[in-house]
Structure 1
Amino acid sequence: MIRPLTRSDEQLFMELSAEFYSSSAVCHPIPEENHRSTFLHMLQDDRYSRCYFMEHEGKTAGFCLISLTYSREAGGMAIWLEELYIRPDFRNLGLGGEFMDYIMSEYSYAKRFRLEMTVGNPAEHLYIRKGFEPFPYQQFVMDK
């Protein structure tokens, strides 16, 4: 079952966020305050970011955090799969693909789905199987 984030999910969101940001899927951890402010932001205004949880056999198997934006290059809405995390005990059960199918169905109006991954991420085969292609851009960031 896939369900959206609710106010009562704060502890679960913080727990899964800590797991994700200590995994090899990311380049570095982020401050705990960033997790909390993201949670509060999504509760107050979900126009730009949303979170979903996946439950499997009565247990939380993972989460997906998306961002919604307009892409002139794509000619419409773009959905960023910012974070897609399946807990280790639930991997290789098809849940990552199920999560992606759900997001692509819920946001079928989007002109583009986009994600980032660290080099060597074992989920790369899943992304390719779902139709994602490497993007020929190098990305840069400037945090303030």
Structure 2
Amino acid sequence: MIRKIDIKDKDKYIAMSKKFYHSDAVLQSIPDNNINKTFDAIISESPYVDGYIFECKGEIVGYSLLSITYSNEAGGLVLWVEEVYILPKYQGHGFGKELLSFIEDIYKNKVVRIRLEVEKSNQRAMVLYQKMGFSELNYMQMYKKL
């Protein structure tokens, strides 16, 4: 089951987000304060961020963080799948596929594109994303911290 993150999920979300940012799925860790600010933005119903919890038999087994931006290139709003974390013992049980189908259903009339990033070493995720219709963009991403 997938549901919106709720205030009661704070401790579990923060613990899972910390695990995510200390995993091979990311290039670098982030300050704990960022995780707390993100949770607060989700709970405040910011129009720019959304969060979902994965449950299996009443147990929280993962989460996803989504954000929305406007893109001239895409011609409208773009949904970014920022983070997907599933507890290791539940990986490979279809939660990723369920999430992508779920967000397509919810956002199909709200956004014109769904984007995500994946580490080249995460072959399992890349295969799933390709099966779900995602194509590679040949952009190099750059950033500058302010």
**TM-score interval for Structure 1 and Structure 2 normalised by the shorter chain:** over 0.9
Name the amino acid aligned to 2:28: H
Query: 1:45: Cα distance to partner?
Result: 3.7
CA root-mean-square deviation = 1.0
For 1:41-60, what aligned pairs fall within 5 Å after superposition?
A: 41-60=41-60
Q: Flag structure 2 segments of 5+ consecutive residues without an equivalent.
A: none
Deviation at residue 70 of structure 1 after TM alignment: 1.4
Shift of 1:9: 1.5
What do the CA deviations read for 1:8-47 (whole angstroms, capped 9, x no partner)? Answer: 2211111110111111100011010110011112222420
Percent identity between the two aligned chains = 36
| Equivalent residue, structure 2, for 1:142 | 144
Cα deviation per residue 1:73-93 (whole Å; 9 max; x = unaligned)? 111111000001111110111
Q: What is the identity, as a one-letter code, of the residue corresponding to 1:7?
A: I
Residue in structure 1 matched with residue 8 of structure 2 by the alignment? 8
SS in 1 for 2:99: helix
Task: Give the Å deviation of 1:5.
Answer: 1.1
2:108 match: secondary structure: coil
Shift of 1:100: 1.0
Q: How many residues align?
A: 144
Which letter maps to 1:108? K
Partner of 1:116: 117
Of residues 37-46 and 67-76 in structure 1, the stretch that sits farther from structure 2 once superposed is 37-46
d(CA) in 2 for partners of 1:13, 1:86:
11
Gaps (5+ residues) in structure 1? Answer: none
- The equivalent residue for 1:66 is 66
TM-score (ref. length: structure 1): 0.95
1:128 partner amino acid? Q
Task: Quote the Cα distance in structure 1 between the aligned partners of 2:58 and 2:41.
Answer: 27
Match of 2:132 in 1: 130
Equivalents in 2 of 1:75, 1:116: separation in Å?
Answer: 20
- Detail structure 1 runs of 4+ shifted over 2 Å in the superposition: none
Aligned to 2:61, what secondary structure does the other structure show?
A: strand
For the residue of structure 2 that corresponds to 1:28, the secondary structure is: coil
In structure 2, C-alpha distance between the alignment counterparts of 1:36 and 1:130, rounded to whole Å: 31
- Cα distance per residue 1:82-125 (max 9 Å; x no partner): 00111111011111100111111110122100001112113110
Quick one: which amino acid aligns to residue 139 of structure 2?
Y
Letter in 1 for 2:108: S
